[in-house]
């Protein structure tokens, strides 16, 4: 087997890489309740009577500056969000920079400033790091690790039948923003990445309805909403039913999708959370989301059901029904 770009783009191909190489090699288990085998957004570490959440992510986006953000904002947001969707307040971040020989100093300053500004939004300090300069033509890679503390750890496998599914805004914005820059495509309305740290939004919902009433969360990054919902359905052993007309969609994303023939359900997001909550708290959770600037377009998009366990069913806008399949990989490589 040769490693291809698609093996790092989420979806079935990446699942194969992880299961055949990584999980079969690393055998020492964590003492925490969430280990590598769980393939959640982070793992947990026992710390006395408590558990800390730990996560790490490598960022290789191309181009490094894009509408709505850059690799620096992406790196901090991505790590914060991996902690936040497990119910963890971010405590600290470490970063590693791998920089190409000859990289522009002004661009590096711009990226570092973006990382600093994004960390202040959370807020979470960047407390340590490492820097390497290499000959390879990579531009810059930014690796970030984060640690956080959760009053209650939330898993992506915790969805329960009867849960209502919330989404805090329009899908596909990051993926299509990246694609538009790469291909030089212009649309009548602006198309910006949604890249943002989500902790304050998630915290607002958790405090409004009680953390115990959020049963599962995930940020739909590579592979988009299709990947996230399928993974949550499979791990939780529930069926997922969504209503296509309820899924928020920016008009520019819809136009790009129709022009390019790429489903927005498969495109990456960097400022969205899929949240399964107890049905009795659904409206309260929705109101809490909509009070936050990153949740003004939030919607209830579906529910967890008894039928079709491990599968996702879409009730289409024209009145039909179809399975929403897990993508082979993200349609646009190197988006995060």
Q: How many residues does the chain have?
A: 336
Q: Domain range holding 10?
A: 5-150
Tens digit of each residue's pLDDT (9 = 90 or more) over 34-90: 999 999 999 999 888 789 999 999 999 999 999 999 999 999 999 999 999 999 999
Q: Are 28 and 171 part of one and the same domain?
A: no
Q: Is residue 191 part of a domain?
A: yes
Q: Are 146 and 291 part of one and the same domain?
A: no
Q: Are 178 and 47 part of one and the same domain?
A: no
Q: Is residue 159 part of a domain?
A: no
Share of the chain above pLDDT 70, in %: 99
Tell me, what's the pLDDT at 32?
87
Cβ neighbors of 25 (< 8 A, separation 6 or more) are none
Q: Which long-range contacts (CB under 8 A, 24 or more apart) does 323-326 make?
A: 324/226, 324/229, 324/230, 324/242, 324/265, 325/226, 325/230, 326/11, 326/12, 326/223, 326/226, 326/227, 326/230, 326/231
Q: Is residue 308 part of a domain?
A: yes
Cβ neighbour number for residue 332 with a 10 Å cutoff:
23
Q: Are 131 and 223 part of one and the same domain?
A: no
Residue 8 has pLDDT above 90, yes or no: no
Q: Are 129 and 197 part of one and the same domain?
A: no
Residue 329 has pLDDT above 80, yes or no: no
Q: Is residue 334 part of a domain?
A: no
Q: Is residue 332 part of a domain?
A: no
Q: Are 217 and 297 part of one and the same domain?
A: yes
Tell me, what's the pLDDT at 9?
78
Nearest C-alpha neighbor of 303 from the set 90, 194, 145, 159: 159
Pick the last residue of a domain from 150, 173, 197: 150
Q: Which residue has the higher pLDDT, 118 or 46?
A: 118
Tens digit of each residue's pLDDT (9 = 90 or more) over 21-33: 988 999 888 878 9
Q: Is residue 99 part of a domain?
A: yes
Contact assessment for residue 171 and residue 225, using Cβ atoms and an 8 Å cutoff: yes
Tell me, what's the pLDDT at 11?
80
Tens digit of each residue's pLDDT (9 = 90 or more) over 212-255: 999 999 999 999 999 999 999 999 999 999 999 999 999 999 99
Q: Are 114 and 186 part of one and the same domain?
A: no
CATH of the domain at 272: 3.90.650.10
Name residue, tokens 């990456």: 268
Residue 204 has pLDDT above 80, yes or no: yes
Pick the last residue of a domain from 98, 120, 150: 150
pTM for the full predicted model? 0.96
Q: Is residue 333 part of a domain?
A: no
Share of the chain above pLDDT 90, in %: 81
Domains contained in the chain, number: 2
Tell me, what's the pLDDT at 189?
66
- Mean of pLDDT over the chain: 94
Tell me, what's the pLDDT at 137?
95
Q: Are 175 and 146 part of one and the same domain?
A: no
Report DSSP state, residue 264: G
CATH of the domain at 117: 3.30.1330.10
Q: Are 186 and 317 part of one and the same domain?
A: yes
Residue 188 has pLDDT above 70, yes or no: no
Q: Is residue 228 part of a domain?
A: yes
Q: Are 123 and 176 part of one and the same domain?
A: no
């Amino acid at each position: 087997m040769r490693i291809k770009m698609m093996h790092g783009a989420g979806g079935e191909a990446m699942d194969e890489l992880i299961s055949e190489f990584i999980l079969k090699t690393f055998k020492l288990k964590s003492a925490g309740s969430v280990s590598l085998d769980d393939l959640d957004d982070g793992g947990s570490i026992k710390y006395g009577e408590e558990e800390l959440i730990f996560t790490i992510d490598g960022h290789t986006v191309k181009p490094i500056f894009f509408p709505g953000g850059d690799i620096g904002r992406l790196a901090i947001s991505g790590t914060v969000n991996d902690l936040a969707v497990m119910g963890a307040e971010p405590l600290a971040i470490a970063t590693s920079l791998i920089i190409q020989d000859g990289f522009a100093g002004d661009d590096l300053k711009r990226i570092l400033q973006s990382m600093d500004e994004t960390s202040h939004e959370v807020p979470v300090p960047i407390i340590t790091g490492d820097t390497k300069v290499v000959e390879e033509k990579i531009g810059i890679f930014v690796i970030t690790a984060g640690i956080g503390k959760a009053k209650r750890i939330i898993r992506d496998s915790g969805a329960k039948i009867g849960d209502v599914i919330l989404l805090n805004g329009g899908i596909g914005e990051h993926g299509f923003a990246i694609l538009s820059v790469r291909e030089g495509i212009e649309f009548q309305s602006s198309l910006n990445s949604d890249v943002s740290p989500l902790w304050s939004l998630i915290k607002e919902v958790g405090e409004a309805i009680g953390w115990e009433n959020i049963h599962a969360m995930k940020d739909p990054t590579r592979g988009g909403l299709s990947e996230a919902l399928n993974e949550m359905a499979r791990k939780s052993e529930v069926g997922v039913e969504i209503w296509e007309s309820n899924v928020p969609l920016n008009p520019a994303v819809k136009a790009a999708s129709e022009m390019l023939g790429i489903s927005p359900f498969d495109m990456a997001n960097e400022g969205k959370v899929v949240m399964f909550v107890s049905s009795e708290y659904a409206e309260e959770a929705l109101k809490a989301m909509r009070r936050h600037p990153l949740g003004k377009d939030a919607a209830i998009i579906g529910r967890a059901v008894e039928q079709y366990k491990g599968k996702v069913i879409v009730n289409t806008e024209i009145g039909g029904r179809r399975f929403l399949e897990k993508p082979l990989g993200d349609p646009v490589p190197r988006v995060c």
